[in-house]
């Protein structure tokens, strides 16, 4: 099988976000960049599918600025075979990214399945997998917690509201967007990290793919940080007094119980 | 004034509250408000939308739409919407809306703003703001190129208006035009848990590493039962195997905004705060007076949760069962 995984490099989720001087983007200085946690699940799923289907290849795709090579190397160290890095501006929107990914996959001789995370844990939009599927004219299944693969189709359990699930069946090729719980992503071993350094990463530009900045459809601007919260009340005393005072405050002052 | 199309959402024979919210917001701002309702045997639901301000309900019924699917929805909707010439298309940012709206946007060749938490109408344009970095910041969305403008709006963003039973909508049947489908929802499997979901109730009680074991979460469940609350967990508690992932609150779990959030034994890592800081009232119970959770707490109890929680349960019972 020709397996593809689309990944994004994002600020570590412990990052304290600051804004740039004109509030047009975040201040990226000093940020620790990591592979988005949901994309680790996608990479893991791709590798497991490859392991079950000898002779398969896993190609990692990522679109963004130069720094994303590092995230691609992380996926290669986990066990993906090759990488393709598409040069896009930091501020590219979901549509431009999806167009770039679709054009890249279409250049390949064959594709059977594409994995992504259910959303990038920074932008949180959760659009790229469905946009990509639409541009490739194939099904998409999002927020997937488990999947059964056959040579021509896939059956997925998709998480919906209230802890319920939809069982979805789709023909292959398809785009599958993984949710936590789908698998437990592996850690790259030291030998595999060394090996990953020698694996090939191809680089593509927008012009190679027949796309341009006109494919960007939305832009974020006027960033704001949430207002800092006012200092709260500290409740002291022994546990019985604390509980009594807390309930009084919640009942009479905050009126929430 | 804009021609606004709201895509209705329903489950188990009932329209979602968030659909009424969007219809009310669009109509309340003086827009020509259309609703598209897709399904099979759901004609009766169409009548509920007029009182919230819908002018026209476009009803698309087909056996293949009995259960929601992204492919069928986006195909049927693009066939209806391309000739209809909407200025604005809205859906709720729910597991359904967030799934099909990108496919519809691609089919219409326009941009989509996801998970907006502020919405305003300005002529045929939308003014939107959305959280980024799980709410560690927010940003305004600017659309580029021609419309229609598309957005998914987080539920509970604008509130549901009071319905006016005197108002009715014109109901128009439309064809589904589905063609061959490559995917299908086979069935919906109900949650096996009897406990409410953290995103769906006004009170959430969450536990962290401070709970020390999966068994100790029983104490939070007992407390939750007194309040009709959901039980959540920090990433540390989920990673330690105390709770399933579905209960995780935070940047890589669920984003919650309840009326009351009680954090027990949670230190307040940045990724956790991102998932709950918009809660109306926050209570923190933690032995460490320096824990970052206290910086966002309205009420802070520095103490041992194993001693505070049983007392809290007794005190709450007194006001719940006087």
Q: Which of residues 216-275 of B touch A (CB under 8 A)?
A: 227, 244-246, 248, 250-253, 259-260, 269-271, 274
- Asked if the model's pLDDT at residue A228 lies above 90, the reply is no
pLDDT at position A227 over 90: no
Q: Please give the average per-residue pLDDT across B104-115, as a whole number.
A: 98
* Residue B163 and residue B268 share a domain: no
Clarify whether residues B127 and B23 are in a common domain: yes
The predicted-structure confidence for A10-59, as pLDDT tens digits, reads as follows 999 999 999 999 999 999 999 999 999 999 999 999 999 999 999 999 99
Would you say residue B276 lies in a domain?
yes
Provide the pLDDT for residue A229. 81
For range B135-141, the mean pLDDT: 95
Give contacts of B 121-140 with A, CB under 8 A: 129, 131-140
Q: How many residues does chain A have?
A: 257
HSE of A76, CA atoms in CB hemisphere, 13 A: 23
Residues B140, B231, single domain; the answer is no
pLDDT of A164-173, one tens digit each? 999 999 999 9
Superfamily of domain A2-215 in the CATH hierarchy: HUPs (3.40.50.620)
Q: Is A33 on the interface with B (CB under 8 A)?
A: no
Residue B141 in tokens? 């969305």
* Spatial distance between the Cα atoms of A128 and A158, rounded to a whole number of angstroms: 17
Single out the residue of B238, B291, B234, B229 nearest to residue B260, CA to CA: B229
| Residues B168 and B212 occupy one common structural domain | no
Report the pLDDT value the prediction gives residue B24, as an integer from 0 to 100: 98
* A250: Cβ contacts below 8 Å, ≥ 6 apart: A256, A257, B260, B281, B283, B299
Question: What pLDDT, on the 0 to 100 scale, is given for residue B320?
Answer: 84
Q: What is the mean pLDDT of residues B83-98?
A: 97
Tell me the torsion sign for CA atoms A219, A223, A229, A230: negative
* Chain A, window 194-253: residues with a beta carbon less than 8 angstroms from a chain B beta carbon: 214, 216-226, 229, 232-236, 239-240, 242-244, 246-247, 249-251
Q: Are residues B154 and B209 in the same domain?
A: no
Confidence (pLDDT) at A15: 92
Same domain, yes or no, for B226 and B157? no
Residues B213, B152 within the same domain: no
What is the nearest CA distance from B200 to chain A, expressed in angstroms?
7
- What was the pLDDT predicted at A142? 98
Inform me whether the pLDDT recorded for A90 exceeds 90.
Answer: yes
Same domain membership, residue B106 and residue B239: no
CA distances from A126 to A178, A236, B99, B113 (A): 11, 44, 8, 11
Q: Is residue B293 part of a domain?
A: yes
For residues A58 and A51, give the distance between their C-alpha atoms in angstroms, rounded to a whole number.
10
**Any idea where the domains of chain A sit in the sequence?**
2-215, 228-257
The percent of residues above 70 in pLDDT, for chain A, comes to 100
Alpha carbon distance B10, B41 (integer Å)? 12
Confidence band for B156, pLDDT divided at 50, 70 and 90: confident
Q: How far apart are CA B283 and CA B258, in angstroms?
A: 12
**Residue B277, domain member (yes or no):** yes
Quick check: A138 contacting B, CB < 8 Å?
yes
Contact B248, B238 (CB under 8 A): yes
Q: Which domain holds residue B301?
A: 203-320
Which of B158, B174, B190 lies at the terminal end of a domain, its last residue?
B174
Q: What is the pLDDT of residue B321?
A: 76
Q: Is the Cβ of B145 closer than 8 Å to some Cβ of chain A?
A: yes
For residues B170 and B286, membership in a common domain is answered with no
Confidence of residue B322 (pLDDT cuts 50, 70, 90): low
The CATH number assigned to the domain holding B250 equals 3.40.50.1220
Q: How far apart are CA B36 and CA B228, in angstroms?
A: 35
Q: Is B173 on the interface with A (CB under 8 A)?
A: no
A27, A75, A100, A132, B21 from A208: Cα distances, Å: 30, 24, 10, 18, 45
Of A121, A158, A247, the CB nearest to B251: A121
Let me know if residue B267 belongs to a domain. yes
Is the pLDDT score of B193 beyond 90?
no
Least CB–CB distance from A13: residue in B95, B200, B271: B271
Which three-class secondary structure state does DSSP give residue B81?
A: helix
**In b/e form, how buried is each residue of B130-158, taking b as 16+ CB within 10 angstroms?**
bbbbbbbbbbbbebeeebbbbbbbbbebb
Q: How far is it, in rounded angstroms, from Cα A60 to Cα A73?
A: 9
Shared domain check, B275 and B163: no
Closest A-chain CA to B147? A217
Do the chains contact at A134 and B103, CB–CB below 8 Å?
Answer: yes
Query: Using CA atoms, how far apart are residues A177 and A171, in angstroms rounded to an integer?
Result: 15
Residue B290 scores a pLDDT above 80: yes
Whether B234 is covered by a domain: the verdict is yes
Cα B62 to Cα B7, B103, B178, B197, distances in angstroms: 16, 20, 9, 31
CATH number at residue B54: 3.40.50.620
Q: Report how far residue A27's alpha carbon sits from residue A17's, in angstroms, rounded to the nearest whole number.
A: 7
User: Same domain for B14 and B140?
Assistant: yes
Nearest to B237 by CA among B225, B228, B245: B245
Contact B247, B200 (CB under 8 A): no
Cα-Cα-Cα-Cα torsion B248, B251, B254, B258, nearest 10 degrees, comes to: 100
Chain A segment 79-98 residues within 8 A of B by beta carbon are 93-95, 98
Instruction: ipTM value, please give it.
Output: 0.95
Q: Which residues of B touch A135 (CB under 8 A)?
A: 106
Strand partners, B285: B264, B301
Higher pLDDT, B197 or B100: B100
With contacts defined as CB-CB under 8 Å, which chain A residues touch B229? Answer: none
Long-range contacts of residues B38-42, Cβ cutoff 8 Å, at least 24 apart: B38/B7, B38/B8, B38/B65, B38/B68, B38/B72, B38/B73, B38/B76, B38/B77, B38/B176, B39/B10, B39/B65, B39/B66, B40/B64, B40/B65, B40/B66, B41/B66, B42/B10, B42/B13
Residues B221 and B141 in one domain: no
Q: What is the pLDDT of residues B299-318, one digit of tens each?
A: 999 999 999 999 999 999 99
pLDDT of residue B200: 84
Number of domains in chain B: 2
Query: What value does the mean pLDDT of chain A take?
Result: 96
For residue A133, list chain B residues with Cβ-Cβ distance below 8 A. 103
Would B186 be classed as within a structural domain? no
Tens digit of each residue's pLDDT (9 = 90 or more) over B227-271: 999 999 999 999 999 999 999 999 999 999 899 999 999 999 999
What's the confidence (pLDDT) of residue B192? 80
- Integer Cα distance of B9 and B97 in angstroms: 8
Q: Is residue B265 part of a domain?
A: yes
Residue numbers in A near B66 (CB within 8 A) = none
Lowest mean pLDDT among A130-144, B54-68, B185-199: B185-199
Please name the residue of chain A whose CA is at the shortest distance from the CA of residue B185. Answer: A168
Asked if the structure places residue B194 within a domain, the reply is: no
Work out the number of other CB atoms within 10 angstroms of the CB of residue B293.
25
Q: What is the mean pLDDT of residues B49-57?
A: 98
**In terms of Cα–Cα distance, which of A180, A256, A58, A237 is closest to B258?**
A256
Q: Per the CB < 8 Å rule, is A168 touching B184?
A: yes
Q: pTM of the entire structure? A: 0.94
Suggest the residue from B98, B141, B193, B254 to mutate for an interface test with chain A (most A CBs closer than 10 A).
B98
Task: Say which DSSP state A56 is in.
Answer: -
- Distance of residue B12 Cα from the nearest chain A Cα, in angstroms: 12
Residue A15's alpha-carbon distances to A18, A31, B47, B270, in angstroms, are 9, 7, 48, 7
User: Tens digits of per-residue pLDDT, A112-125?
Assistant: 999 999 999 999 99
Q: What is the residue whose two structure tokens read 């959770």?
A: B293
Q: Is A17 helix (H, G, I), strand (E, B) or coil?
A: coil
Provide the 3-class DSSP secondary structure of residue B195.
coil
């Amino acid at each position: 099988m020709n397996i593809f995984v689309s990944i994004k490099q994002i600020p570590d989720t412990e990052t304290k976000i600051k804004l740039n001087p004109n509030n047009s983007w975040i201040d990226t200085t000093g940020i620790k960049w990591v592979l988005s946690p949901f994309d680790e699940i996608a990479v893991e799923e791709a590798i497991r599918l490859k392991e079950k289907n000898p002779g398969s290849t896993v190609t990692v795709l990522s679109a963004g600025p130069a720094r994303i090579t590092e995230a691609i190397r992380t996926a290669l160290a986990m066990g993906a075979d090759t990488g393709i890095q598409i040069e896009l501006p930091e501020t590219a929107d979901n549509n431009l990214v999806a167009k770039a990914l679709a054009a890249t996959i279409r250049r390949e001789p064959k594709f059977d399945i594409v994995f992504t995370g259910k959303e990038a844990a920074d932008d949180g939009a959760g659009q790229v997998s469905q946009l990509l599927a639409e541009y490739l004219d194939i099904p998409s299944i999002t927020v997937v917690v488990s999947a059964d693969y056959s040579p021509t189709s896939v059956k997925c359990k998709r998480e919906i509201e209230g802890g319920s699930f939809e069982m979805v069946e789709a023909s292959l090729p398809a785009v599958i967007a993984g949710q936590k719980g789908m698998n437990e992503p592996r850690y790259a071993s030291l030998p595999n990290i060394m090996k990953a350094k020698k694996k090939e990463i191809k680089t593509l530009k927008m012009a190679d793919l027949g796309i341009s900045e006109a494919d960007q459809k939305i832009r974020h601007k006027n960033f704001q940080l949430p207002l800092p919260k006012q200092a709260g009340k500290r409740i002291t005393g022994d546990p019985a007094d604390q509980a009594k005072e807390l309930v009084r405050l919640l009942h009479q002052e905050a009126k929430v119980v | 004034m804009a021609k606004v199309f709201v895509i209705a959402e329903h489950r188990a024979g009932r329209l979602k509250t968030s659909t009424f919210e969007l219809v009310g917001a669009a109509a309340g701002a003086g827009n020509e408000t259309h609703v598209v309702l897709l399904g099979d045997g759901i004609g009766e639901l169409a009548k509920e939308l007029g009182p919230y301000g819908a002018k026209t309900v476009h009803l698309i019924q087909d056996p293949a739409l009995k259960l929601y699917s992204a492919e069928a929805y986006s195909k049927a909707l693009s066939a209806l919407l391309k000739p209809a010439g909407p200025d604005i298309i809205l859906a709720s940012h729910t597991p359904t809306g967030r799934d099909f709206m990108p496919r519809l946007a691609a089919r219409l060749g326009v941009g989509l703003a996801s998970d907006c938490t502020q919405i305003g109408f300005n002529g045929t344009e939308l003014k939107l703001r959305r959280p980024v970095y799980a709410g560690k910041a927010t940003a305004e969305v600017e659309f580029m190129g021609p419309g229609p403008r598309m957005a998914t709006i987080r539920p509970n963003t604008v509130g549901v208006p009071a319905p006016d039973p005197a108002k009715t909508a014109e109901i128009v049947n439309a064809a589904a035009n589905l063609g061959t489908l490559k995917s299908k929802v086979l069935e919906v499997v109900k949650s096996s848990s009897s406990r409410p979901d953290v995103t769906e109730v006004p009170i959430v009680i969450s536990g962290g590493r401070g709970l020390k074991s999966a068994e100790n979460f029983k104490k939070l469940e007992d407390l939750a039962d007194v309040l009709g609350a959901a039980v959540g967990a920090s990433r540390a508690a989920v990673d330690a195997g105390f709770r399933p992932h579905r209960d995780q609150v935070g940047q890589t779990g669920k984003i919650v905004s309840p009326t009351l959030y009680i954090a027990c034994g949670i230190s307040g890592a940045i990724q956790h705060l991102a998932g709950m800081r918009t809660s109306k009232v926050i209570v923190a119970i933690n032995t460490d007076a320096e824990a970052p959770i206290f910086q966002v707490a309205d009420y802070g109890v520095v103490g041992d949760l194993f001693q505070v929680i049983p007392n809290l349960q007794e005190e709450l019972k007194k006001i719940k069962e006087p």
